[in-house]
Structure 1
Amino acid sequence: MQDVQTDIRADIRNDIRNVAIIAHVDHGKTTLVDGMLRQTNVFRANQQVAERVLDSNDLERERGITILAKNTGIVYNGVTINIVDTPGHADFGGEVERVMNMVDGVLLLVDAVEGPMPQTRFVLRQALAKGHKAIVVVNKVDRPAARPDEVVNATFDLFIDLGATEEQADFPVIYTRALEGRAGHAPDQLAEDLRPLFDAILQHLPPPRVDRTGPTQMLVTTLEYSNYVGKIAVGRLSSGTLRTGQAIARITPDGEVVSGRVSQVYIFRDLKRLEVEEVEAGNIVAVAGLPDVGIGDTLADPADPRPLPPISVEEPTVRMTFSVNDSPFAGQEGQYLTSRHLRARLHQEMERNVALRVTEVDGAEVQGGTFLVAGRGELHLAVLIETMRREGYEFAVSRPEVIFREGEGGLLEPVEELYVEVLADYLGAVSEMLGRRRGQLQNIRYGDDGTVYCEYLVPTRGMLGFRQPFLTATRGTGIFHTLFHGYVPYMGDIETREHGSLVALETGTVTSYALEQLQQRGTFFVRPGDQVYAGQVVGQHIRDEDLVLNVCRTKALTNFREKPKQDSEGLMATRTLSLDDAIEYLGDDELLEVTPQSLRIRKKELRHEVRQRAAKRARQGGSGVESRTPFPSLTRRHSLC
């Protein structure tokens, strides 16, 4: 019996902790990591460091959210703590599901006022399903409305709801002020640093159990790229060792075994990849020298190749078409324009974004270079679009649409759990909106401050384009969050578009004279001096039908003299659409032209007479039933996977 105990101890790496930090959006997760890095002497005393240092992506800093999971490593009391900062938004759940394969425990961060939020539930569910133990960190305990005791009770209820074991539900609690870098065991007794948090990690989160003498096994969880060494595979080494120059067998999820050789081995230390000669099992490592490696591959010993279970993620629920830009202004602003460029970029994205699906579309009525891109939500796809735009790509995208399934009882559609916080004055307007979108009220709770908390089940179709009308109805005071619930039988037709578009009649320069005469028709997206083309959407109509008008009209020259005035004196303010706003605005017959400098909404068919004939035929023979098949004329699809 003594020998068995000795062997078990030999398989435990007490000098390592692999930890993921999970939380809802804006609960202070990345700020807490900043404090942990500072207090372990990662930075020089006089070094200027940006806030949210792990949010290195420009989009992450602009949106204030974590999009990509990132690794760093610190040393505390001789123990290496590998920290993984994970996204808090459910649309990037693919990142979270992968990261849980690398760690042995989690820090669950919750706000001392808001408590556990809907997307906290999503991330925590992934951790508990892997059997990980958690430390609950109650952050922002210095806020005036902080209620730490109620938040801890609500978090315990959440653990029970998600089916946590007794050991998982018996979690330690640490209270913090992440901005000040302070932590403690009671909200009113915080130490001057984060030592209580570090001590709790070493005491309560388990060290990795490994087989140091076994054959090499490492599951590739993340991919990085270096201009010097190419593709870098990141994952946790489960058994054996990895060293520079070692022969390796790469096992794909399909079971194919490919030989290769490791050129460099890295560990994560502070904010850098540190090159080392050899790494033992239990550590999170990065490996270079395998150009064709992919997420889900197993790196194994060629003499004894044993695959690890591949990574599985939830299927996407929303898709859009990406196509070559064929507008009259095509090629004026972008660097990468062709279907070849678009195909290569989407294929590259699929290699590191496992929640994305890309399918090439062919058909008699579909232009060449059209791709069906499916993701976890509007935000997931919007971030991809913005990233490609900043890289110099020019393309067109369609309105988002949900992905239906065929079940035993017929057509199935995805449904979201919607959590809404609104003032009581706006509850009626919000309830009416959700009723039109087939929302079903599940729970309602009234707060002491006049805020109403509602839970709905809403078809994903009903949530497309919901944000802007919701903010308008609540005067910008409402908050909502969504979480994927599952597939249910088709819930009926939904008509969410309550407006028409103002469409340019001809190509030319927008004039203030024309806008002044037409401004009572609706809200314009263009300003005097902008270039437009025939078929471009230049504004939102006040009615639910499209209107073609001439925004390039100029004033006739006469001998009449009038008092001079500013050209734009009588013009109302135009509306500037962000990428998210433009995607929400799109109709079924419209496309969004995306270039590095511009966002233009246009009709799929630019010729007015063709659109008129199609509309006339639809009125004569249309049934008014919502189309469930987005591309009825497609003949075949070529998968890029």
Structure 2
Amino acid sequence: MLNIGIVAHVDAGKTSLTERILFHSGVIGRIGSVDDGDTQTDSMDLERRRGITIRSAVVAFTVGDLRVNLIDTPGHPDFIAEVERVLRVLDGAVLVLSAVEGVQAQTRVLMRALTRLRIPVLLFVNKIDRRGARHDELLHDIRRLLTPAAAPVTTVEDIGTPHARAVPAPLRGTAVGELLADRSDAFLRAYLDDDPGLTEDAHLAELARQSRRGLVHPVFFGSAVTGEGVADLVGGLGRFLPVAAPAGPLRATVFKIEHGRAREKIAYARVHTGTLTARERVAYFRREHGAVVERAAKLTAVRTFERGTDTADAPATAGAIARVWGLTDVRIGDQLGTADGLPETGIFLPPSLETIVRPGRPGDGPALHAALQRLAEQDPLISLRQDELGRELSVRLYGEVQKEILAATLAETYGVDVEFTETRPVCVETVTGHGEAVEEIGAGGSPFWATVGLRVGPAEPGTGVRFDLAVELGALPAAYHKAIEEAVRGTLTQGLHGWEVPDCVVTLTRTGYFSPISAAGDFRKLTPLVLMDALRRAGTRVHEPVNRFELEIPADCLSAVLARLARARAVTTVDGGAGGGSGGGSSSGSAGDGACHLRGTLPASAVHDVEQDLPGLSHGAAVFHSELSGYQPVTGEVPTRARTDHNPVHREEYLLRMSHRA
């Protein structure tokens, strides 16, 4: 078995390529069209109408005795979370480029992620029959911008015409030979000795060996529309990508969730090792607030992909992708069978924007909440957030297109019309010093039968929340320790200003209880009050999200665009000394051949407005892409976020609310 993903910048032709592969392998008898909305993998009505992929889709086909599961993924950057979930279950990937548009910003983002995960990649250069298609220049760009280890397997005759043909590229040449020799000592010795055994077939075998290890990346040219070059690509899947069926206990990753006709939850799982069988009880694991949590359930049905989108009741063995029923509490990212190998962090940074969602009709609040909960199961990174008094619902987003899709989905699938507030960036708080606080049983009017002391200090970015003990573990019942730690991690989702505190060290310095009156709930309720007191003494600073951007504009628009970027707090420089701006980041660019290429950073809060202004500033010729790259301290007025907890920052208010809860 082989699991591959097709990934690309939007409009590079990956869904059309998927259709052509299914046609070539005999799965379908007619090729669907993205424009006509009748492709196999874009099954949602929204996808068909808008001509874009929103949710990943699985289809199966065979090449000889090799069974291939192919996952089509979204190309628009607003749906990068869907791509992330797929990347974790792949044996290899096909990265699609347009021979006309070439290496685009999202292409580079995807290649960086694939390289970081060490996923073997084949490159397919699509649209060779289109006017303006390039070969030599594009190969140069691929090696310069994507990977220096690109090795053409096919080349093109009559490129840029309707008669364009993909033909085998010579492998026994200086360029390919040196590329392979750089990555193999044995091949290097034979190459330097001009060994007569290094035939074309020997070069091909070494290329395949290195490709399966992700050391080099074969490049195929073709056209999804005409089918030219697709047979070469399909034939190369089993040759250039790793096929394995490793043994071992059950380990499977859930990468997609959907709901059936009876509203039942269906999980898509890639089996890495072991076997998933219906009517067996399975443990599954996830990370919550930095800790590993275990659940268990009995599988009621397991269906594996057989042909196209068809599935059949069968145990899912290593390498298979299965649709699984019975995991009622499962979430995307959960791992079945074992916690070993459970990812610590995401591949891409989480969404940096947030919006409040309100029902368009009075009385639709409960229906809206239920619909958003279901959508959050399918896309957990939207992070549905509701205050404990039930007044506001908010979700996190990557961009405005995702907001439009969310509104359309709520209206068409769930019958709920919604209104959004203006999108705002999601900030974080960092701990700036050290602070300590303690609450004793019966002291200061505390109604809780618990003593808790906590010390808070800063931590390196990206290290998460670390919970340490400066007390003897046996001095407190284990359930009370667990209650304190869970409360610490939950409380830090909202710091002094309402933003998450993602990185810090919290140390438990004091404990006490009164048997038999004390209960875990006393520690769970008291901990937020103590933690916020310690956090206030330590101090926090709010940081805003910053996006990395790439921008191509006509050279004669440079001055106007630089001025707009400066107003957005991006510092911009261009070869030759032009530049300007101040504040939120740095940027560089180059001008030449009638175009300017700019790169840099700017606050996420400014991205949408800049993107909206660029067409008017560039005669409609701007090509812009951005992605979240990190955070920087907020200057000026500190933004705050409405709290959704019982407000432990204010002692009297918190105690009053806790007394009402009791």
Question: Are 2:298 and 1:261 aligned?
Answer: yes
Cα distance in 2 for residues equivalent to 1:230 and 1:40: 33
User: Corresponding residue for 2:25?
Assistant: 40
User: Corresponding residue for 1:170?
Assistant: 216
Cα deviation for residue 149 of structure 1 reads 2.1
User: Corresponding residue for 1:207?
Assistant: 243
User: Corresponding residue for 1:345?
Assistant: 371
Q: Which amino acid aligns with 2:130?
A: R
Question: Are 2:409 and 1:381 aligned?
Answer: no
Q: Which amino acid aligns with 1:269?
A: E
Cα distance in 2 for residues equivalent to 1:47 and 1:57: 14
Question: Are 2:355 and 1:320 aligned?
Answer: yes
Cα distance in 1 for residues equivalent to 2:423 and 2:543: 18
Cα distance in 2 for residues equivalent to 1:45 and 1:419: 39
1:10-409 residue pairs with structure 2 within 5 A? 16-44=1-29, 50-160=37-147, 168-183=214-229, 194-211=230-247, 214-228=248-262, 230-253=264-287, 255-300=292-337, 307-310=340-343, 312-313=345-346, 314-325=349-360, 330=361, 337-361=363-387, 369-391=391-413, 392-407=415-430
Cα distance in 1 for residues equivalent to 2:624 and 2:345: 28
Cα distance in 2 for residues equivalent to 1:198 and 1:93: 26
CA contact (8 A) 2:286 2:342 kept: no
Question: Are 2:492 and 1:458 aligned?
Answer: no
Question: Are 2:542 and 1:411 aligned?
Answer: yes
Root-mean-square deviation over aligned CA pairs: 3.1
Cα distance in 1 for residues equivalent to 2:422 and 2:263: 39
SS in 2 for 1:241: coil
Q: Which amino acid aligns with 2:99?
A: A
Cα deviation for residue 401 of structure 1 reads 0.7
Q: Which amino acid aligns with 1:242?
A: L
Cα distance in 1 for residues equivalent to 2:70 and 2:82: 15
Worse-matched range after superposition: 110-119 or 100-109? 110-119
SS in 2 for 1:462: helix
Cα distance in 2 for residues equivalent to 1:489 and 1:480: 25
Cα distance in 1 for residues equivalent to 2:9 and 2:32: 30
Query: How many residue pairs are counted as aligned between the two chains?
Result: 460
Distance 1:28 1:160, change over 3 A: closer
User: Corresponding residue for 1:444?
Assistant: 589
Cα deviation for residue 241 of structure 1 reads 1.6
Worse-matched range after superposition: 282-291 or 263-272? 263-272
Distance 1:258 1:169, change over 3 A: closer
Worse-matched range after superposition: 95-104 or 627-636? 627-636
Q: Which amino acid aligns with 2:382?
A: L
Cα distance in 2 for residues equivalent to 1:182 and 1:245: 46
Give deviations 1:526-564, integer Å, cap 9, x for gaps. Answer: xxxxxxxxxxxxxxxxxxxxxxxxxxxxxxxxxxxxxxx
Q: Which runs of 5+ in 1 are unaligned?
A: 1-15, 184-193, 332-336, 493-624
CA contact (8 A) 1:159 1:169 kept: no
Distance 1:29 1:92, change over 3 A: same
Cα distance in 2 for residues equivalent to 1:51 and 1:172: 31
User: Corresponding residue for 1:629?
Assistant: 640
Cα distance in 1 for residues equivalent to 2:571 and 2:646: 37
Distance 1:46 1:338, change over 3 A: closer
Cα distance in 2 for residues equivalent to 1:243 and 1:429: 62
Give deviations 1:591-632, integer Å, cap 9, x for gaps. Answer: xxxxxxxxxxxxxxxxxxxxxxxxxxxxxxxxxx65622548
Cα deviation for residue 310 of structure 1 reads 4.3
Worse-matched range after superposition: 379-388 or 279-288? 379-388
CA contact (8 A) 1:320 1:400 kept: yes
Distance 1:338 1:51, change over 3 A: closer
CA contact (8 A) 1:34 1:51 kept: no
Cα distance in 1 for residues equivalent to 2:32 and 2:228: 21
Cα deviation for residue 311 of structure 1 reads 7.1
SS in 2 for 1:393: coil
Cα distance in 2 for residues equivalent to 1:46 and 1:356: 34
1:497-508 residue pairs with structure 2 within 5 A? none
Distance 1:628 1:149, change over 3 A: same
Give deviations 1:153-208, integer Å, cap 9, x for gaps. Answer: 3222334599x99653521110011111110xxxxxxxxxx221111111110013
Worse-matched range after superposition: 44-53 or 25-34? 44-53
Cα distance in 2 for residues equivalent to 1:43 and 1:353: 30
Cα distance in 1 for residues equivalent to 2:2 and 2:270: 12
Worse-matched range after superposition: 235-244 or 18-27? 235-244
Distance 1:376 1:46, change over 3 A: closer
Q: Which amino acid aligns with 1:373?
A: V
User: Corresponding residue for 1:489?
Assistant: 633
CA contact (8 A) 1:68 1:87 kept: yes
User: Corresponding residue for 2:489?
Assistant: none
Cα distance in 1 for residues equivalent to 2:23 and 2:141: 31
Cα deviation for residue 50 of structure 1 reads 5.0
Cα deviation for residue 138 of structure 1 reads 1.1
Cα distance in 2 for residues equivalent to 1:628 and 1:407: 14
CA contact (8 A) 1:316 1:357 kept: no
Greater per-residue helix proportion:
2
Cα distance in 1 for residues equivalent to 2:239 and 2:423: 47
Cα deviation for residue 633 of structure 1 reads 11
Q: Which amino acid aligns with 1:26?
A: D
Q: Which amino acid aligns with 1:115?
A: G
CA contact (8 A) 2:547 2:604 kept: yes
Distance 1:273 1:250, change over 3 A: farther
Cα distance in 2 for residues equivalent to 1:280 and 1:635: 47
Cα distance in 2 for residues equivalent to 1:154 and 1:52: 31
Cα deviation for residue 324 of structure 1 reads 3.8
Q: Which runs of 5+ in 2 are unaligned?
A: 150-178, 184-209, 433-540, 573-586, 649-653, 655-662
Cα distance in 2 for residues equivalent to 1:471 and 1:377: 18
Q: Which amino acid aligns with 2:350?
A: E
Cα deviation for residue 65 of structure 1 reads 2.5
CA contact (8 A) 1:135 1:173 kept: yes
TM-score, normalising length: structure 2 = 0.64
Worse-matched range after superposition: 165-174 or 263-272? 165-174
Q: Which amino acid aligns with 1:200?
A: G
Q: Which amino acid aligns with 2:398?
A: R
User: Corresponding residue for 2:508?
Assistant: none
SS in 1 for 2:588: strand
